[in-house]
Amino acid sequence: MKTVDLQSEFPQDPDLCYLNHAAVAPWPRRTAEAVSRFAQTNATRGATDYERWLETEQSLRQRLARLINAPSTRTIALQKNTSEGLSAIAWGLDWRPGDKIVITDQEFPSNRIVWESLQVLGVEVVEAGLDTPDPEQTIINALDRETRLLSVSSVQYGTGLTLDLVRLGQACRARGILFCVDAIQSLGALPFDVTQCQADFVVADGHKWMLGPEGVALFYVAEPHLDRLRLHQYGWHMVRERGNYDVKTWNIANDARRFECGSPNMLGIHGLEASLALLEEVGTSRIRTELMTRVTALEERLRQHPQVELITATERSLRSGIITFRHRSLPTPALFKHLRDQQVVCAPRGGGIRFSPHFYTPLDVLDRAVELIPVEA
């Protein structure tokens, strides 16, 4: 394994306490350089090197496939964002009135609105409440004979609740229910194995834990479903005859490229490819260990603070990079403003303040951030 110089890779402004990877992550140095190089090449050579760009695009697909342990890149498409991928699934499946979709009551709006948009077809969306001692069992209990699909976030954006996807995947498989995972809050931070959790669909934009730019997302569709999703976007790029502009006949590509209608986001692709190269060099297992060290350290410091009340369910064995808390006497908007003014970059989410470090966050950043939470009301 190559040693990665983390200090050099993350040249962050030392005045900031950046604890907002669950929103938008800072780019690693190599990502910023890859994007600059790409911009420079465009300025001086235009698309002369397009063949090389396609190699970078292919490399990104391979890295994404490895990241989720997908059997091949055939199942990986690049989309603009998570919402686009979820919409392609929602509006690609064949629904009957009376069909049910189960989600949870803590989902980010994208993983609720797309399913609710199907209500015009007579499809019902059922929310399983996660505030229970065994959230996975509560979700499983919500699956019934009418349920066609379960869609959950691997990690809830507000509280950081991490779900046991293997258990949910098994429950779906046993009942013949499709399983869709919005993995944006875990990919790049925690290991993910699509084969083990038996997900039919996985979607995740790259700008959070994967440390990439906004606007390039992983879209995984399990092989058996590739030609099951009805397409709503067509163009030169998603056909088998791609590049042969003279033929008038066309056939839909038989791999996941069928979901990519036109020119790709090459700029974003160059950025995300560089970010994933870094994550691969560090390794998923080390990333998880380092992240857990930081989250545990943060939890300890927050617990010692007399005004802090934790919202995140810290007793669960599955943990994420998110820790959310409230102040006993300061309302969340006031605390958020105070922290922002003190250069602590975080977010008001899940009923409190959400801190989200990544594996490389220096421990003194955690100390400083917690020290800046007012002790007095």
Ligand X SMILES: Cc1ncc(COP(=O)(O)O)c(C=O)c1O
Query: Of these, 20, 73, 106, 111, which contacts ligand X (CB under 6 A)?
Result: 111
Minimum CB distance to ligand X, residue 302 (Å):
21
* Residue 185 binds ligand X, judged by CB under 6 A: yes
Interface positions, 58-97, toward ligand X (CB under 6 A): 81-83
308 or 319: whose CB is closer to ligand X? 319
Type of residue numbered 61: R
Strand spans (E) along 34-96: 76-79
- Residue closest to 68 by CA, chosen among 190, 248, 212: 190
- Choose the stretch contacting ligand X; rule: CB under 6 A; options: 103-111, 162-170, 268-276, 335-343: 103-111
CB of 114 to ligand X, least distance (A): 10
Verify binding: residue 324, ligand X, rule CB under 6 A: no
Using CB under 6 A, pick the residue from 32, 59, 62, 108 that binds ligand X: 108
**Using rule CB under 6 A, residue 110 touches ligand X:** yes
Amino acid at 265: N
| DSSP alpha helix (H) spans, the chain | 6-9, 29-45, 50-68, 82-90, 110-116, 135-142, 165-175, 194-197, 266-282, 284-304, 332-341, 363-371
Task: Please identify, using beta-carbon distances, which residue of 61 and 349 lies nearer to ligand X.
Answer: 349
- Is residue 182 within the footprint of ligand X (CB under 6 A)? yes
Q: 179 - beta bridge partners?
A: 150
Nearer of residues 204 and 335 to ligand X, judged by Cβ: 204
Q: Kindly indicate which of the ranges 92-100, 108-116, 127-135, 356-364 contains the residues binding ligand X, using the contact rule CB under 6 A.
A: 108-116
CB closer to ligand X out of 169 and 213 = 213
31 contacts ligand X (rule: CB under 6 A) = no
DSSP state of 231: P
Q: What is the largest CA-CA distance in the chain?
A: 73
Cα–Cα nearest to 127, from 154, 97, 145, 147: 147
Helix (H) or strand (E) holding 280: helix 266-282
> Could you say which residues in the range 121-160 bind ligand X, by CB under 6 A?
153, 157
The span from the CA of 297 to the CA of 69, in Å, is: 30
How many angstroms separate the CA atoms of 359 and 284, rounded?
Answer: 10
Residue 210: CB minimum distance to ligand X, A: 11
Residue with smaller CB distance to ligand X, 107 or 330: 107
CA–CA separation, 242 and 188 (whole Å): 32
- The HSE-up count of residue 290 (CA atoms within 13 Å, CB side) is 17
Judged by CB under 6 A, the number of residues near ligand X is 13
For the packed helices 266-282 and 50-68, what is the interaxial angle rounded to 10 degrees? 50
Residue 208 or 330 having the CB closest to ligand X: 208
Which residue's structure tokens are 């943060």?
Answer: 298
Contacts to ligand X from residues 197-216, by CB under 6 A: 205
Helix axis angle, 29-45 relative to 266-282, nearest 10°?
A: 150
Closer Cβ to ligand X, 17 or 25, answer by number:
25
Binding site for ligand X (CB under 6 A): 81-83, 108, 110-111, 153, 157, 182, 184-185, 205, 217
